[in-house]
């Protein structure tokens, strides 16, 4: 077999389908997010980022940066190893305490990313609980799917947010069989929200644990940023809440929050925790500062809601098709991978606007989109330029618009 030719052929196929991904070389401007410099060979240009998961701009908040600088000066760069050997620092302990408090749980456990926390926690729980059945929402994130697969536990997939289908699957099982319902609160590609209360009702009725991924909700929803479950007063009914520090909190890392025994169980048996170098102390300090700030400040969340509503209204006014949902995510639907990438390229090249195309396999073929995430630090001028550019490119690509009268 000619291995190199195989690799090249597979990449060519992606390019021909319009699904090949190209990284933009970006340098964010400290204190001026969402502005950044795009470097292309020897050339540079200024761009505005409209697709960041740093939803509130906390990655450049003064309190976060000050905490990281202080921790770096005090503790140096790295943690020194895995948490079990030499990598547990005082900053990790403080951060886990902040996270447990955020979700009103007894304990929390840090991981190097949200992907790792899902993979490690789900694979550990499902593999070590005897005869565990996992019931997984059809649109769960790849990290959840990989964790469930790695566990080799039996898994049944229920139709997305369909509690009637979930109950059908649960009712077919013996009441005393261990069961784990795995789902998300905010689904990142469509921006829809799970019926958490109804899922908790079923979990209690059929003796199941609940595993809730809140990565696209923590920091953004609830009185203190605890997520959708906090907003709806349901945190006490969730067995385990999983979240990230790399989105609304603006740093990096993942975590789970649950009872002390459950967190200790994962800490003691999860290979994805045991054999991974710990987060740098400065990262942990920055994340703790971000969480503390958003527990008491509503300013960022309130401004973001206003900006999201403004962008939605402006897109509707010119007939740009976008998915209506109750979250902060605005999926602008293109429906063609080549045109989706073309629009993304032209936004960058002609208008200085950075929005990555979302194509297969992240979303199903035929549902290609631009995923827009307005933040409190986008200005009114930023919104004007975005809407004008999309209107221009929609006409140029001869894409259908929403009927104005039907809105």
- The residues assigned a catalytic role are 247
Token pair in block for residue 269: 């048996």
For 112, the token pair is: 């190097």
The b-or-e profile of 145-161 (16+ CB within 10 A means b, else e) is: bebbebbebebbbbebb
Cα 387 to Cα 74, 98, 199, 316, distances in angstroms:
46, 39, 38, 10
Distance, CA of 186 to CA of 128 (rounded, Å): 28
CA–CA gap between residue 342 and residue 346 (Å, rounded) = 6
Tokens for 109, please give them.
Answer: 């456990």
SS3 279: coil
Q: Which of 153, 189, 183 is nearest to 323 (CA)?
A: 189
- Helix residue ranges per DSSP H, 103-246: 114-128, 142-151, 163-171, 196-205, 228-231
Tokens representing 172?
A: 């077919």
Name the residue among 4, 47, 7, 43 with its Cα closest to residue 26: 47
The separation between CA 64 and the C-alpha centre of its own chain, rounded to angstroms, equals: 20
């Amino acid at each position: 077999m000619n291995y190199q030719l195989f690799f090249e052929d597979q990449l060519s196929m992606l390019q021909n389908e319009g699904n090949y991904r190209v990284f933009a070389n970006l340098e964010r401007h400290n204190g001026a997010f969402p502005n950044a410099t795009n470097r292309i060979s020897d050339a540079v240009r200024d761009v505005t980022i409209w697709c960041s998961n740093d939803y509130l701009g906390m990655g450049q908040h003064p309190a976060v940066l000050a905490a990281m600088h202080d921790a770096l000066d005090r503790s140096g760069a790295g943690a020194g190893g895995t948490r079990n050997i030499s990598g547990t620092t005082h900053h990790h302990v403080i951060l886990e305490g902040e996270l447990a408090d955020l979700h009103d749980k007894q304990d929390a456990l840090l991981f190097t990313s949200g992907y790792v926390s899902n993979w490690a926690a789900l694979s550990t729980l499902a593999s070590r609980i005897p005869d565990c059945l996992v019931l997984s929402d059809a649109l769960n994130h790849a990290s959840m799917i990989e964790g469930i697969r790695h566990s080799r536990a039996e898994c049944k997939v229920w139709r997305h947010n369909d509690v009637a289908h979930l109950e059908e699957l649960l009712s077919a099982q013996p009441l005393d069989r261990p069961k784990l319902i795995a789902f998300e609160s905010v689904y990142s590609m469509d921006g829809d929200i799970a019926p958490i209360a109804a899922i908790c009702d079923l979990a209690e009725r059929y003796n199941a644990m609940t595993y809730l991924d809140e990565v696209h909700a923590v920091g953004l929803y609830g009185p203190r940023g605890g997520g959708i479950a906090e907003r709806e007063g349901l945190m006490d009914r969730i067995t385990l809440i999983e979240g990230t520090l790399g989105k609304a909190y603006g740093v990096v890392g993942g975590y789970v929050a649950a009872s002390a025994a459950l967190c200790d169980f994962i800490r003691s048996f999860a290979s994805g925790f045991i054999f991974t170098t710990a987060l740098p102390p400065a990262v942990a300090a920055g994340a703790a500062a971000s969480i503390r700030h958003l527990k008491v400040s509503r300013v960022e969340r309130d401004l973001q809601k206003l900006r999201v509503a403004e962008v939605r209204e402006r897109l509707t006014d010119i007939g740009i098709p976008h998915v209506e949902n109750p979250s902060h995510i605005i999926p602008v639907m293109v429906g063609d991978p080549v045109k989706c990438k073309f629009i993304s390229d032209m936004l960058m090249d002609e208008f200085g606007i950075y929005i990555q195309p979302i194509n297969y396999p992240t979303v199903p073929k035929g549902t290609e989109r631009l995923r827009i995430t307005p933040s409190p630090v986008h200005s009114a001028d930023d919104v004007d330029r975005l809407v004008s550019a999309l209107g221009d490119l929609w006409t140029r690509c001869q894409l259908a618009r929403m009927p104005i009268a039907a809105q």
